[in-house]
Amino acid sequence: MGSWMELGGSAFQMLGTVAAVWWLLRVAWWLGHALLVYGLPQVGLGLGISLRKQGAWAVVTGATSGIGRSYAHELARRGLNVVLVSRDLSKLHREAEDIERLHGKETRVIQVDFTEGLEIYETVERGLEGLDIGILVNNVGVAPKIIPQKLMDVKNVGKSFTDMMNCNMLSMVQMTRIILPQMVARGRGVIINISSMAGRQPSPFLALYGATKVNGSQTLSSYQEEERGSEMGME
């Protein structure tokens, strides 16, 4: 009996060791990836993508607050002119003025509401006409306007889901389709899609939102395979 208990204890110890090593390797990979993408380019070792060599302009959707605003200012700080795309014109002008004042770069603003669907993209194309675009940040997104609840309890599900699909899914596809051709023609460019943990794991009480965020990761992976071997960068 004692030998069996010792054997079982050894097996559990080995299993625990394997699990611990796996988690350590995973953490090390994420830290290494973060260092390569965010750290080394800052110290000028030439191991990251040179953003200014991708093109003169960056385009950021949902650019007047949160992550989008931070991207817009950081890209301007790194030497790119910025197109800000959002629905609130007063906020767009305010951020454009701040970027020009703080970073000395050119700006353009495009006012559209991404929940409105396909008809807005003619306005977007006109606003981007003639620009050498090297960076696209697909950031815009909308979350449910109600508190988290079970899927079967969501009221007016058609309108809520349509708005989220238009803003979270269609925006990324259409913005990429507008800008990607010129990047492919030049053989350079970077596309960044802002996703969510809701798109990487089950999202109880946020099922519709999670479904729209899955699209980002899946579409990005497909784009990467389609452009494999090119100089395109996609994150």
**For residues 167 and 140, is the Cβ–Cβ distance under 8 A?**
yes
Distance CA 20, CA 202 (A): 24
71, 121, 209, 223: which one is catalytic? 209
Active site residue 38: no
For residue 163, the one-letter residue type is D
- DSSP 8-state secondary structure symbol assigned to residue 188: -
Distance CA 178, CA 175 (A): 5
The CA-atom distances, in angstroms, between 201 and each of 102, 141, 198, 235 are: 39, 18, 6, 19
Among residues 62, 132, 137, 72, the alpha carbon closest in space to that of 107 is found at: 72
Residues 6+ apart with CB under 8 A from 149: 205
Active site residues: 209
